[in-house]
Amino acid sequence: MLRLRSLVGLDISGDVVSVAQVRRQHGGEVKVLRSGSAPIKRQPGAGPEEARAALVAAIKAAVSAAGVPRRRVAVNIPGEPVECSVRTFPEMSVREMEAVIKREGRELFGESVCWDYIELPGKPDGQRVVLTAFAPGEAVADCVSVLKEAGLGVKAVCVSHLSLLSMLESSDGLEGSAALVHFGTQAVSVVVLDAGTPALVRRIQLDGQSEASPEFVAEEINRTFLYFKQQCRGKRVVKVFQWGAPPPVLERLRRDTDAVVNDLEATREPEPGEAATAFGPVAAGLAASGARDDALNLLPDDLKERRTRRAQLAVMSMVALSVTSTYFACYAALSVAQRMYEQSLQAHQAQLQTLLPVRRLHSEIQATKARLRERQELHSSLVQESVPWSYLLWDLGRTLPREVTLTELTASKEKRETATLWSIRISGLLSGGGERRSASLKELLTNLQQCGMFSAVKLEPLFEREAERAMGFSVRCEMKPPRDWLL
């Protein structure tokens, strides 16, 4: 009988550390084998070092209480400073899409951002639909360091509300549109599912006392459901799965929402003679997500690459062992085959010497290869003169400030010795007052220089457009598209 592997999840995002060892059944249901928890005993007014020590002590206490045998865990980030979204990209290569995703992550959390994405079922016109996640690199590194100090290894760094989707895979309420609402200590995360696939992800930040009121939270959740209904042509959320909602918020949500609100729970597998008990699903969801290769993992790239190298070395060792074990068994057969090959080769060489048309055929093959090389060089020169304008315009629109309106875009190309340069002229209007116009124009020039697509950016003299009551401008620049842009 196939033995199902169990994994461990560790939830350290709140005021209580929870740990769970889970096993996924054949039907997809997640069962909790062992579980434990311990409060984080933070002293009032404690500094960062004291808070870190309290977290490490709580992790050790929870792992000891659960009695989990494994030492590599799937964990979330304290405070959950993670931004997630569902994005739709036009038809492009994976390398171009990853470059855009990484640039968006750097805009959110700087150069040290940790990011990952999974591709969702796409649209029929070839577009890509992906679920992205970004987190500060410092927070991820600190999380890995805390677990190392607690004597644990990290298998995956996951997102709490997305990991909870693993608890819904065996649910019967995902035929239509459903929603998962996770109430954290600092934010409320909403994931709207369309036929079991994430269609909308929103994070509702709770900064003040007024924003944590039941009325505010219920209103923002209902706004999210209304936005989904408008974007998906009348589809509406009919069932809500929630976890962690305070009683006043849960009561208000059930009263103001048309959908059916259910609690999300995991079930711990009982010992002999013991009844099954309910358990918080966050740690269980983290363990279930960490076991999957297609789940979001915010570990730094160097740790992922290190584990990939370990897997490659293991595969290479298995292949080497297999080759060594079969070599001696095949040696005799290879020797016989080699003698037969040599004899047949000598016979064929004698026949080839008598066949004169073979030389003529060889000459024709060489001439055909030469023509193919010429066509390939011609095709490469033609490809270098083309630019994906749809991608360029889409990326150019991201650099325009709010007060700038683009009215004209002209391009002309100039052939050089090694490449083709494009001369771009961008014209538009500046709205607002004098200071706002100056700031917007300065921001536009800075964005054009920093986006990496343009060089020699020059501003032409400004002119008044009395009909539009705005200031007109023109910018000239040069562009040389990278090779990975070529269609």
For residues 407 and 289, membership in a common domain is answered with no
For the segment 423-445, the average pLDDT, to the nearest whole number, is 83
Mean pLDDT of the chain: 79
Q: How far is Cα 141 from Cα 299, in angstroms, rounded to an integer?
A: 8
For residues 261 and 350, membership in a common domain is answered with no
* CATH code, domain with 451: 3.30.980.50
pLDDT at 271: 61
For residues 337 and 230, membership in a common domain is answered with no
Residue 304 lies in a domain: no
Residue 313 lies in a domain: no
For residues 374 and 397, membership in a common domain is answered with no
pLDDT at 78: 85
For residues 116 and 262, membership in a common domain is answered with yes
200 or 173, which is more confident?
200
For residues 184 and 64, membership in a common domain is answered with yes
Whole-number CA gyration radius for the chain: 31
Strand, coil or helix: 234: coil
In this structure, what DSSP letter does residue 166 have? G
Residue 201 lies in a domain: yes
For residues 190 and 84, membership in a common domain is answered with yes
Name which of 21, 180, 157 is nearest 80 in CA terms.
Answer: 157
* Region label for 452, one of left (φ > 0), alpha (ψ between -120 and 50) or beta (otherwise): left
C-beta separation of 465 from 474 below 8 A: no
Q: Which two tokens stand for residue 66?
A: 């659960």
Count the neighbouring beta carbons within 10 Å of the beta carbon of residue 330.
11
Work out the pLDDT band at 480, boundaries 50, 70, 90.
Answer: low
* CATH code, domain with 132: 3.30.420.380
Residue 310 lies in a domain: no
Does the global pTM surpass 0.95? no
pLDDT at 190: 92
pLDDT one-digit tens code per residue, 304-323: 544 445 555 556 667 777 77
The number of folded domains in the chain is: 3
Work out the pLDDT band at 376, boundaries 50, 70, 90.
Answer: low
Look at residues 338, 367, 382 and tell me which one is the last residue of a structural domain: 382
For residues 16 and 96, membership in a common domain is answered with yes
Residue 315 lies in a domain: no
232 or 312, which is more confident?
232
pLDDT at 383: 45
Cα angle 38, 43, 44 (rounded to 5 degrees) comes to 135
C-beta separation of 74 from 101 below 8 A: no
For residues 151 and 244, membership in a common domain is answered with yes
For residues 252 and 340, membership in a common domain is answered with no
For 9-23, 85-99, 343-357, which range has the lowest pLDDT when averaged over its residues?
Answer: 343-357
Residue 307 lies in a domain: no
Look at residues 353, 382, 411 and tell me which one is the last residue of a structural domain: 382
For residues 371 and 434, membership in a common domain is answered with no
For residues 398 and 357, membership in a common domain is answered with no
Contacts of 19 (CB under 8 A, 6+ apart): 8, 9, 10, 11, 35, 36, 37, 59, 62, 63, 65, 66, 68, 73, 283
Q: How far is Cα 38 from Cα 34, in angstroms, rounded to an integer?
A: 14
Look at residues 266, 299, 332 and tell me which one is the last residue of a structural domain: 299
Q: How far is Cα 179 from Cα 182, in angstroms, rounded to an integer?
A: 10
pLDDT at 134: 92
Residue 151 lies in a domain: yes
Determine the structural domain holding residue 329 and report its residue range.
Answer: 321-382
pLDDT one-digit tens code per residue, 147-184: 899 888 888 888 888 888 877 765 555 667 888 898 88
Residue 271 lies in a domain: yes
Classify strands 16-24 and 6-11 as parallel, antiparallel or unpaired. Answer: antiparallel
